[in-house]
Structure 1
Amino acid sequence: MTEQNAAASGWLNRALNGIERVGNKLPDPAILFAIFMVGVWLISAWMSTMTFAEVDPRTQQPIVVQNMLSGAALTAFMANLVNTFVTFPPLGVVLVAMLGLGVAEYTGFINAGLRAILSVTPRMLLTPVLIAVGILSHVAVDAGYVLVIPLGAVIFYAAGRHPLAGIAAAFAGVSGGFSATLFIPSSLDPMLAGLTQAAAHLSAEPGAAELVINPLNNIIFTSASTVLIIAIGWALTDLLIEPRLRNKVIDGDPAELPTMSPLTDQERKGLLWSGLAMLISVALLVFSIVPMDSAWRAADGEIAAAGAPLMRSIVALIFVFFLIPGVVYGYIAGTVKTHRDVVKGMSKSMSGMGYYIVMAFFCAQFIYAFGQSNLGALIAIKGANALKELAMPMGMTLIGIVFLTAFVNLLVGSASAKWALIGSVMVPMLMQLGVSPDLTQAAYRVGDSSTNIITPLMPYFPLIVVFCQKYVKDTGIGSLVALMLPFTVALLTLWTLFLIGFWWLDIPLGIGSHYSFPAVNG
C-alpha cells in the first residue's frame, strides 16, 4: 500500500511539475494579458457577424457580441484606457493597504508580532489557523488578498516552513473558500440573495412573484463548509503541497525575508505599546459604530450592508490600523527616528509594487475588452441553456450547476455578474422542477469559489504571483496554477458531495431556506 501511495504521489508531482513548466513557458503575465486582449478583439470581430437566440437577462434582448475592432469600440477603448486602469478595483485596494502595511513591515512591527505569536503557537496548527483567518477575512471584503495571503508567507517562513506553502494555504482560505463563512454574514450574502430573488420572479410558477429570499438563506451550509475547507486545505498543504516544495529554492533578497530570532527587551516594549495603540484604535471604532445613528451605518441602520460607510472604509481602516501601531512600534523600538523614516517605509512598499502595477494595467484592459465584447455572457448563457436541455436527475443537475459555474468562473471574475447571467436561467428552470432558489444558489456558490485560485483572470491573481516572487524569483502563472490546482480539484469534488449530503439528509441550508418549490414543510 505504501508503494502504491508513493507511486501515486510521484505521478501527481510529475503532472503538477509538467503543468508548472508549460505554464511558465508562457509569456510574461503582463504580455499574456495583452495577447488575450488582442485575441478577444479578433474573436469578437468574427462572432459579431453571428446571430444568437439566447436572451441577455440584463436587456431581455437576444445577446449580441460586440465587435471590439469597430471604429466606435476602438476609440472608446482608447478614450477609456486611463480610466479603465485607475478604476481597476484591486489597484486602489492594494496600493492603499500596502502603504499602511509597508510602514508596519519597515518598522519591524509585523515581524516582531509574528515572532511573538509563533513562540506560543504549535507548529502543527499554523496551517488550519491560517486558512480559518483567510475564510473569516471575507467579512472585510477583499482585505484577505492584501493582508492574509502575504502574512501567510511570512508566518510560514518565520516558522521554518516554505513560504509558498503559506501563500497556498492562505489563498485557499481567502479565495478558494470565498463562499464559506462562520455564522458571520458578508456583503456577498445579501448581494447574491437579491439576484436570486430577481431571478425567481422571472418564473411563471404560482407564487414565484411573491417569493422573498432571506439574505442568510445559505448561512448554515456556508458555516459548515468552513470546517470542510479547513480540513481540505490543512491536509493538502501539509501532506502534498509542502513536500512538493522542498526542492523549490528560496532565492529572495535575504534582507527582505523575516527572521525568527528571540525578541529583545526593546522589541517587547515596542510590541506592548503598539498593541495598546491598536486596541485603543479598535475600541474607538467600535464605540463610534454602536449608536444606531452612527455615521458608519447605512441609511437603514445596517452595519454589514454593501453600501454602509463601514464596509466601504475597510481598506482605509487597514491602512490606519497598521500605520498607527507601526509608527508607535518604530519609535519605541528605535527603528524609526523621524517622520522621514515613516515616509521611507511607505516608499519602499510602493517600489515593490512596480511589477504588479504593470500587470494590473494590462489585466484591466483585457477585462474591459472581454466584458464589453459580451463573450463571457454568451458562454455563460449558452452553458446554462445546455444544462437545462439535458434535463438530468436532481443530483446530477446540482453537480452540473457547480461545474458550469466553475468553468464560467475561469472567464468571468465578478461573482455578481456570473450569478446575474447564470441565475436568471437556472433559478426559474429549476423552480419548474420543484427545486428551491436557495438550493440553486448554494450550488452556484460552491462552483464560484472552487476555481478562483487557478484563473489568471481573477483580478488579484497577478498580485499573488508578485507575493510568491518575493521568495522564489522565477515564480510564474504556471507555478501558481500548479500550486493551487490540487485545492481546486479537491474543493470541486468534496464540496459538491458535501452539498449533496446536505440535500440528501435534509439539513437546513440557512435561515428561511427550503429545498423544494413550492416549499414543503416537514
Structure 2
Amino acid sequence: MDNNNGAAPTGAIARFLNGIERVGNKLPDPAMIFLSAMLIIWVLSWLLSGISFDAIDPRTGETIIVNNLLTGDSLASFLSNMVVTFTSFAPLGVVLVAMLGVGVAEHSGYINTGIKLMLKRTPQFLLTPTIILIAIVSHTATDAGYVLVIPLAGVIYYAMGRHPLAGIAAAFAGVSGGFSANFIPSGIDPLLQSFTQSAAHIIEPGMQVNPLNNWFFTGISSVFIILLGWFITARIVEPRLQKTPVDGDTDDLPEFHEITGKEKKAFVISTLVMLAGIGVLIYASLGADSSLRHDGSLTSFQAPLMKSIVPLIFLLFWVPGAVYGFTAGTFKSSKDMIDAMSKAMHGMAYYIVMAFFCALFIAAFSQSNLGALLAIEGAQVLKAMALPSAVTIVGIIFLTAFVNLFVGSASAKWALLAPIFIPMLMQLGISPDLTQAAYRVGDSSSNIITPLMPYFPLVVVYCQKYVKGTGIGTLVAMMLPFSIAFLIGWSLFLLAYWWIGIPLGLQASYIYPAG
C-alpha cells in the first residue's frame, strides 16, 4: 500500500479498485436507471397483482394489494398525468429556486472573494482546519468547492512550503467527504427532505418532514469532521507525502491573485447588507403576533417562516451576490445578473432530465403498492432478526457507502433508497429524520475514494500539477484514511449523538411515531 513515488497501488488494493471501476463503468446513466426501474416496477406489478399477501397496510388496516400498472386504465392515467407528475415533483422547484440565488452569488464573485479572504488571513497552524471548514461551507455554492477551494488549497500549501497534495487532500476531504457536515443550510437540505417526505407518505400519507430536520446534527458534525480531518492530515497524510517529491511544472501553477481594494469593499458592503437582512428577519419574527408565526409558533409546519425556508435560502445568496456584483463591477447591468442565474440553470440541465425520470419512477413505485409491501415485509424480517436499532442504523450507513461507490449522485441514490429505507425503518419505530441522517453519513464517507465521482478525475489533474505520476490509485490511497475514519468515526458519532438525545434538527425526532 506504500505509494511514495506516486504510482498506483499494487496487489489486492489495485484489483479491488480496478474491479470497482470496471463494474461502475458498466452502469447506465442514473436517468436510465430510473427509467429501467420504472419499467421493472410495471412488470412486477403485473406479476404480483394476482397474489394475496398477509402484510397489513398500516394506512388502511387492510391486506396489501399490489396494483397492476399495465392495465389499459393505468397506462392511460400514466400518459395523461405525466406532465403533472413531473412538474409537481417536489425536489424540482426546491432545487431550482435555491440555485437561482446561489448562481448570482457565485458568478458575481461574492463567494469566491469570501473564500479567498478567509484563506489568506489564516495562520499556518490553523491552515488545515480552516481549509476543511471553508471546504465544508462551500457546499452552499454547489460545485464551487471543487473548482475553487481544492486547487487554491494546493497553491496555498505550496506557497507556505508544505506539500501541496496535503492541502488538496484536506480540501477534498472537506468538500466531498464532509458533504453532509455543514452548519449553514443549503439546497441539499430541502432536496433530501423532499425525497424523505415522499417516502414517508408510503406509510403515513400527509406526514410532513421539516427541510432542516438534520440541521443540528450536520452543524455539530462539521466540528467533528474538521477535527478528524485535521488529525488525519497532520498525522497520516502529510507525513507520508514528505517522501513524495514535487516534480510538476510549478511555473505553470495557478497564481493566488491579490484581492483588489474594490473587491474587498464590495464584499464588506454586500455582507453587511446580508446581515442587515437577517437582522430584519429576526426582528420581524420576534413578536408573538408576527406574521411569520402560526399560533405563536415559528417552527410549526403552518408557520410562514417554515414554508419560506427555500425562498430565504434564495435571498440569502441573491441579495449579497447582486450587491457585490454591481459594487465590484462584475455586473454592469441587470442583464449580467440574469445571465448569472441563467448559467446556474445551465448547470442544472442534467438534474432536470434526471428529475423527470425520477418523478415517474417514484410515482409508479408508490401507485403499485410495492414500496409498502417491501417495507412491511422487510420490517418483519428485521424484527425477526431482533437486531438493536443502533445496529440497523449502522447497517444503513455502510450499505449507503457501498452503493455510493457505483452511483455518485446523492439525490439519485436517495430517490432510489428512500422509498425502501424510510418506510421499512418507520415500521421498526425509527423516524425518517434519523434514517435520513444515517443516509447522509454513508453517502459522504465514500465520496472521496470512488473514481466514478464526477469530480474525481479533476482532482487527479490538480495533483498532477505538482506530482506528475499521480493517478487514480494515488488519489485513492491518499484519501482512503479519510474515508475509513469518516465512515467509522462518523457512525459512532451519530450513535453517541442519538444516545445523548441531542435534537437532530427542527421538528425532528428519533422514533416513529414521535412521542
- For Structure 1 versus Structure 2, the TM-score category normalised by the shorter chain is 0.5 to 0.7
Structure 2 CA distance, aligned partners of 1:469 and 1:413?
Answer: 25
Letter in 2 for 1:123: L
1:366 aligns with 361
Q: Which runs of 5+ in 1 are unaligned?
A: 135-143, 200-216, 247-257, 428-436, 457-463, 474-481, 516-522
Match of 1:372, SS state, is helix
Match of 2:81, SS state, is helix
Question: Would you say the 8 A contact 1:81–1:365 is kept in 2?
Answer: yes
Deviation (angstroms), 1:79:
2.1
Structure 1 CA distance, aligned partners of 2:169 and 2:25?
Answer: 16
* Equivalent residue pairs, number: 433
Structure 2 CA distance, aligned partners of 1:338 and 1:124?
Answer: 39
Question: Would you say the 8 A contact 1:123–1:159 is kept in 2?
Answer: no
Structure 2 CA distance, aligned partners of 1:497 and 1:379?
Answer: 28
1:399 aligns with 391
Letter in 1 for 2:359: A
Distance 1:171 1:88, change over 3 A: farther
Deviation (angstroms), 1:385:
0.8
Structure 2 CA distance, aligned partners of 1:117 and 1:275?
Answer: 14
Of 154, 158, 171, the match for 2:152: 158
1:95-494 matched pairs, under 5 angstroms: 95-121=96-122, 122-126=126-130, 128-130=132-134, 133=137, 147=140, 149-153=142-146, 154-160=148-154, 169-170=174-175, 172-175=177-180, 228=224, 230=226, 260-297=256-293, 299-391=294-386, 394=388, 398-400=390-392, 402-403=394-395, 413=415, 421-423=423-425, 425-427=427-429, 444=435, 447-453=438-444, 493-494=488-489
Structure 1 CA distance, aligned partners of 2:380 and 2:363?
Answer: 25
1:35 aligns with 36
Structure 1 CA distance, aligned partners of 2:266 and 2:497?
Answer: 49
TM, length-normalised to structure 2: 0.66
Structure 1 CA distance, aligned partners of 2:336 and 2:133?
Answer: 33
CA-to-partner distance for each residue in 1:25-56, whole Å, 9 max, x for gaps? 32233223212221221222222222221222
1:207 aligns with none
Question: Would you say the 8 A contact 1:179–1:445 is kept in 2?
Answer: no
Structure 2 CA distance, aligned partners of 1:123 and 1:309?
Answer: 41
Asked if residue 69 in structure 1 is aligned to residue 81 in structure 2, the reply is no
Question: What is the alpha-carbon root mean square deviation over aligned residues?
Answer: 5.2
Distance 1:337 1:493, change over 3 A: closer
Structure 1 CA distance, aligned partners of 2:7 and 2:214?
Answer: 40
Taking every aligned residue pair, what percent have the same amino acid on both sides? Answer: 39
Distance 1:38 1:90, change over 3 A: same
Structure 2 CA distance, aligned partners of 1:29 and 1:150?
Answer: 19
Structure 2 CA distance, aligned partners of 1:317 and 1:442?
Answer: 22
Deviation (angstroms), 1:399:
1.0
Distance 1:125 1:103, change over 3 A: same
Question: Would you say the 8 A contact 2:182–2:218 is kept in 1?
Answer: no
CA-to-partner distance for each residue in 1:211-259, whole Å, 9 max, x for gaps? xxxxxx999999876655555666779968x99xx9xxxxxxxxxxx98
Letter in 2 for 1:152: G
Match of 1:160, SS state, is helix
Distance 1:502 1:59, change over 3 A: same
2:207 aligns with none
CA-to-partner distance for each residue in 1:367-422, whole Å, 9 max, x for gaps? 22222222232222222211222345x5xx64135426876998874999768733
2:465 aligns with none
Question: Would you say the 8 A contact 1:380–1:418 is kept in 2?
Answer: yes
Structure 1 CA distance, aligned partners of 2:380 and 2:255?
Answer: 55
Distance 1:46 1:231, change over 3 A: farther
Deviation (angstroms), 1:283:
1.6
Distance 1:67 1:100, change over 3 A: same
